[in-house]
Amino acid sequence: MAGYVCTIAGGKGGVGKTTTAVNVGAVLQEMGHDVVVVDADLGMANLGSMLSVEPDKSLHEILAGNAAVSEALTDAPGGLTVIPGEQSLEAFADADPAKLRKVIKTLRNAYDVVLIDTGAGLSHEVAVPLGLADGVVLVTTPDDVAVGDTVKTAELANRIDGPVTGAIINRATRHTDVAEIADRLDFPLLAVVPDDPQATTDEPLVLNAPESTAAEAYRRLAEMLEGVFFEGAVVDDDVDAIVDEEWFLDDEELDSDSDDDSGGVFGLFN
């Protein structure tokens, strides 16, 4: 049986697409699934540098016809296999996004899960991995522009028959109005990931800070996606089920017995 292809996308750069891909991948690998993460952000590839790995060959070389898929498979922390890209303009110019289809076909026949990390925007190089996906997971921060761009990316995915599984809100704080953002989305909210500065280290957060609230959020997300990928589960669009209000409380608030019935902490659940 062929593996599941999940494209991690978002309309704005820097929202945490790569971070999401490596953490979800690491958890799924931990669960016993063979996972490969592909850095298809052809203009701003950062998977290799984020995980501090140096591949023999890159995705760009594959897409330029100068390397085989097997030559670019690279071991990464957590037992992950990754195919990093390059950051040079020359590599970007030589890479043909259309050849990604053959790459993904090869990988889905060898792995249980193929996670495609994409670039930002609405370009052809972003559209290709959206169209190749069995499911698209969108990543946004609470920033108003990022949310708007995520909605546009979902519209693009729908136009090219890329099924949108849902979205995650990354770098959420106690001031994030989750309910308001969820109301702007025409698809399920899969996860709310608390802001965590450790998330950009050279190892997935679920490995280097497994007790953190952000790591817990990624684990819940991966467990939900496991059901979608392998059991055809339908996402339950229930905000209360995917986030703990305690993640956004400080120690003093956790110790208090306040009966505040305002509906949430600092607008989190309005």
Residue 203 sits in a domain whose CATH number is: 3.40.50.300
Does 191 map to a domain? yes
Question: Residue 153: which of 176, 177, 172, 129 has the closest Cα?
Answer: 129
Nearest 5°: the CA angle 150, 156, 160 is 145
Does 195 map to a domain? yes
Distance (Å, rounded) from C-alpha 43 to C-alpha 203?
23
Does 260 map to a domain? no
Task: Determine the pLDDT at residue 247.
Answer: 79
Most confident region among 43-57, 130-144, 194-208 by mean pLDDT: 130-144
Local confidence band at 122 (pLDDT 50, 70, 90 cut-offs): confident
Least confident window among 26-40, 77-91, 156-170, 245-259:
245-259
Does 257 map to a domain? no
Which is more confidently placed, 94 or 240?
94
**Mean pLDDT of the region 88-101:** 84
Task: Determine the pLDDT at residue 266.
Answer: 40
- pTM score of the predicted model: 0.90
Does 266 map to a domain? no
- Domain containing 62 equals 4-243
Contact 67, 57 (CB under 8 A): yes
Report how many domains make up the chain.
1
Does 249 map to a domain? no
Does 133 map to a domain? yes
pLDDT above 70: residue 259: no
Task: Determine the pLDDT at residue 270.
Answer: 46
Q: Partners of 114 in the beta sheet? A: 5, 36
pLDDT above 70: residue 54: yes
Contact 251, 238 (CB under 8 A): no
Does 172 map to a domain? yes
**Mean pLDDT of the region 133-141:** 96
Distance (Å, rounded) from C-alpha 68 to C-alpha 113?
20
